[in-house]
Amino acid sequence: MKLKARILGLEAGGKLVALLNREDAEDLGVSSLERVRIAKNNREAIAIVNTATKLIERGTIGIYEEVRAILDIEAEEEVDVEISPLPKSVHFIRNKLRQRKLTYEEILEIIRDMVRGNLSEIEIASFVTALHIFGLDLDEATSLSRAMVETGSTLEIDKHPIVDKHSIGGVPGDKTTLLVVPIVAAAGLTIPKSSSRAITSAAGSADRVEVLMPVSLSIDEMREVVEKTNGCMVWGGSLNLAPADDMFVRIEHPLSIDPLLLPSIMSKKKAVNAEMLVLDIPTGRGTKVKTIGDAELLAKDFMELGRRLNIKVQCAITYGEQPVGYTVGPALEAQEALSVLMGERYVPDLVDKATDIAGILLEMSGMKNGKTLAMEILKSGKAEKKLREIIGAQGGNPEVKPEDIYVGEETFTIRSKKKGYLLWINNASLVEIARLAGAPKDKGAGVHLHKKIGDAVRENDPLFTIHAERDIKLQRAIDRLKESYVLGIGERMEMLIHEVREPPIPKKMFMLER
C-alpha cells in the first residue's frame, strides 16, 4: 500500500513507531502493535503500528523521528507499506508469560530487538512484569547479563588486574566511591568505574562526581583516563555499556519493580572487563535489603552469577540505617568527600566504609592487610593526589578546593525541641526532602546533617540544614517537613513504633538505584 508520509516531529522514546489511520491498518491486515515494513527507495524500516481514528487521514502515515532518520524521508513523500511478521522475540516474551524458561539465544533476541527499538512498551512492560513475578533463575540472569553486554560497547584495557566496586544503592549520601577509586588506583590497581545518575535518590555517583569533573566521557576518553591514571569515575549513560538497561529502567521505574538488579549491575561490570568486584549491600531499615539474611541470599546470587561470568565477586554487607557521612545532595557530598580526602574533615563512618571496601579489593588482588594499607594511602595524601590526577585527566580543575564548590544558599535549619539522643533517621524522608529542595537536578540542593545516630542532642541543637538553590524549592521541602518523621530524639528507643487505628494505605518508598 502506498502512503504519504506525515512527519510528526516527535520522538517515540527510541522505538520505531508509525501511526496509521485505522481503516488503512485494517486494509493492510494489521492491528495496533503489530508491525509494518516501510520502504522508500532501497531503505526500509520495520515499525510498530499505532492506529488513529481521527487526525491521521486515510492514505497518510505518521512518521516518528526514529523511523524518519532510518528512511531519510521528507514530508509528503510516498512510502510503500506492507504487513511484516511479528519479531521472533515477541513469541519468546509470550512464552515467558507462560512461565517457560528462556534460552540464551531467545534472551539475546529479545534484548537485541529491544535495543533496536523493535519492541513496544506494552511488550517490554509485560516481559518485565513476568520477570518480576516469576523471578530470574541464575541461568536466565547469566543469559541476560551476557546479552546486555553483547548488545553494547565494551572497554578493552590491557592493565591488570582490573577491579571494580559497586553498591546496590538504597542508602543516602553514599559517597564511598569518591574515596575508594583514588585509594585503589593509587595502590596500582586498574579501576574503570562507571556510575549512574540518580533515578529515585537525591544523588547518584555520577551526579556527585560531576561536581568535581566532567563525567560524560566517550568510551575512548574513558580508556585514555584509565591508561593514564589507573582509574576514572564516569557516567555510564554516555558509554553505551549495556544500553538495554536504560530501556528496562524506563519501564521499571513507573511500575516500581526491579527484577533486573543482578544482570543490570553485572553486565556493566562485564562490559568493562572487570576481573574482581566488591559489591556493597547496604542493609537494614530504610534500605533496599531489610535483613542480614536477605543480604546474604543476594550476596550468594551475585557471587554465583560472577562465577558464571568469570568475575570474582566478594560482597560487603554494610550498615545502611542512616546516610553515610553528614551530607545528602550532589555538591554537599562532593565537598564532604573532598574534605575527607584532604584530611580537613573527620567523618568516621565514611572513612571506615571506604577503607573496608578498598581493603577488600587490595586483598583480592593479593596484597596483605588491605584495610590498613587503604588507610595509609588515604592518610598519606596519596589518595587525594590520585583524585586530582583523575580530575585533571577527565577535564576538571585539579586544584579544586572544598570552598570552591557551590552549595545552595537558600537554607533552613531544623532544631531539636528536646534533649536526648538521636535514635533513628528515616532515610526515605530525608531523600524526599532533598529531592523537593531540588536534588539531584540542582546540584547545590540537599540536606546537611549535624547529628548522626547515637549523638547526644541538647534542646535547640541544630539537627539538619536543608540547602536549596531556589527559594520556591526550599519552601516546597519545608512544607513537606510537617508531614514527615525525619528523625527521632529520645532517651531510649520507645517501644511503640506506630499506632494503626484504621487500615493503612502503605506508601512504599521505591529505590531503583543500582
Write out the binding residues for a copy of itself, residues 419-438 only, by CB under 8 A.
435-436
In the block, residue with C-alpha cell 511488550: 123
Q: Is 172 in the site for a copy of itself (CB under 8 A)?
A: no
In the block, residue with C-alpha cell 516546597: 476
Q: Which of 52, 407, 377 is nearest to 186 (CA)?
A: 377
Rounded least distance, CB 354 to a copy of itself, Å = 30
Selected catalytic residue, list 164, 207, 245, 258 = 258
Q: Is 263 in the site for a copy of itself (CB under 8 A)?
A: no
Q: Is 54 in the site for a copy of itself (CB under 8 A)?
A: yes
In sequence order, the β-bridge partners of residue 424 are 488
Among 119-127, 289-297, 341-349, 414-422, the segment contacting a copy of itself (CB under 8 A): 119-127
Q: Collapse the DSSP code of 294 into the 3-class scheme (helix H, G, I; strand E, B; otherwise coil) and give the result.
A: helix
Q: Is 52 in the site for a copy of itself (CB under 8 A)?
A: yes
Which CB, 210 or 349, lies closer to a copy of itself? 210
Q: Is 29 in the site for a copy of itself (CB under 8 A)?
A: yes
User: Rounded CA gap, 132 and 492, in Å?
Assistant: 40
User: Rounded CA gap, 379 and 383, in Å?
Assistant: 8
Q: Is 257 in the site for a copy of itself (CB under 8 A)?
A: yes
Contact in structure between 41 and 78 (CB atoms under 8 Å): no
User: Rounded CA gap, 192 and 241, in Å?
Assistant: 12
Q: Is 478 in the site for a copy of itself (CB under 8 A)?
A: no
Q: Is 47 in the site for a copy of itself (CB under 8 A)?
A: no
In sequence order, the β-bridge partners of residue 233 are 193
Rounded least distance, CB 235 to a copy of itself, Å = 15
Residue 152 DSSP symbol: S
Give the Å distances, CA to CA, from 91 to 4, 87, 96. Answer: 31, 7, 9
Which of 42, 158, 254, 497 touches a copy of itself (CB under 8 A)?
A: 254
Contact in structure between 452 and 422 (CB atoms under 8 Å): yes
User: Rounded CA gap, 278 and 269, in Å?
Assistant: 11
Q: Is 411 in the site for a copy of itself (CB under 8 A)?
A: no
**Number of helices and strands in the chain (H, E):** 18, 18
Q: Is 50 in the site for a copy of itself (CB under 8 A)?
A: yes
Which of 44, 77, 80, 121 touches a copy of itself (CB under 8 A)?
A: 121
Count of residues that bind a copy of itself according to CB under 8 A = 54
Q: Is 19 in the site for a copy of itself (CB under 8 A)?
A: yes
Is 207 labeled as catalytic in the residue annotation?
Answer: no
Q: Is 368 in the site for a copy of itself (CB under 8 A)?
A: no
Classify the C-alpha dihedral 271-386-346-414 as positive or negative: negative
Write out the binding residues for a copy of itself, residues 186-215 only, by CB under 8 A.
199
b/e per residue, 243-255, with b = 16+ CB within 10 A? Answer: bbbbbbbebbeee
Q: Is 505 in the site for a copy of itself (CB under 8 A)?
A: yes
Q: Is 2 in the site for a copy of itself (CB under 8 A)?
A: no
Q: Is 300 in the site for a copy of itself (CB under 8 A)?
A: no
Write out the binding residues for a copy of itself, residues 63-82 only, by CB under 8 A.
65
Can you state the percent helix, strand and coil of the chain, rounding each to 5?
40, 20, 40
Radius of gyration of the chain, Cα coordinates, nearest whole angstrom:
25
Among 84-92, 201-209, 339-347, 401-409, the segment contacting a copy of itself (CB under 8 A): 84-92
Contact in structure between 20 and 76 (CB atoms under 8 Å): no
Which CB, 134 or 319, lies closer to a copy of itself? 134
Q: Which residues bind a copy of itself (CB under 8 A)?
A: 8-11, 13, 19, 26-27, 29, 31-34, 50, 52-56, 62, 65, 88, 90-91, 93-94, 97, 99, 120-123, 125-126, 128-130, 132-134, 199, 250-251, 253-257, 435-436, 441, 505, 507-508
Q: Give catalytic residue positions.
A: 258
